[in-house]
Amino acid sequence: MTNYICGNYFQDEKIERCQFSKDGTKLFMFCTVQKGDKAVTEVWDISTWNKIGHKRLLKKPASVMSISLDGKYLALCTYIQAVA
């Protein structure tokens, strides 16, 4: 599954990563969204484009996102930049 880098959805939101359901039977999309200094993960029903919900899972933006084939599990990863 490919991560899609998206642009601004609203002025105060920056959509960063999106993934669609993998098996094609569940029409949903996960997105990581930067809202000011907060990173949240949102779930959208793509048949109606209604937001199902959102939750703050990480304190920093996700650099990698993956969902399981059945859509039950979401994996997010962020990184810490080392200072030399």
The whole-number pLDDT of residue 4 equals: 45
What is the model's pLDDT at position 60?
74
- Asked if 25 and 38 count as a contact pair (C-beta separation under 8 A), the reply is no
Is residue 3 within 8 Å of 65, Cβ to Cβ? yes
Query: Could you tell me if 16 and 8 are in contact, meaning their C-beta atoms sit under 8 angstroms apart?
Result: no
Report the percent of the chain where pLDDT is more than 90.
0
Q: Return the residue matching tokens 């809202």.
A: 35
b/e 16-25 (16+ beta carbons within 10 angstroms → b) = bbbbbbeeee
The residue ranges of every structural domain in the chain are 13-77
pTM of the complete model = 0.65
pLDDT digits (tens, 9 = 90+) for 45-69: 888 888 888 888 877 777 788 888 8
- pLDDT of 84 higher than 80: no
CA–CA distances in Å: residue 5 to residues 35, 45, 66, 83: 16, 19, 14, 26
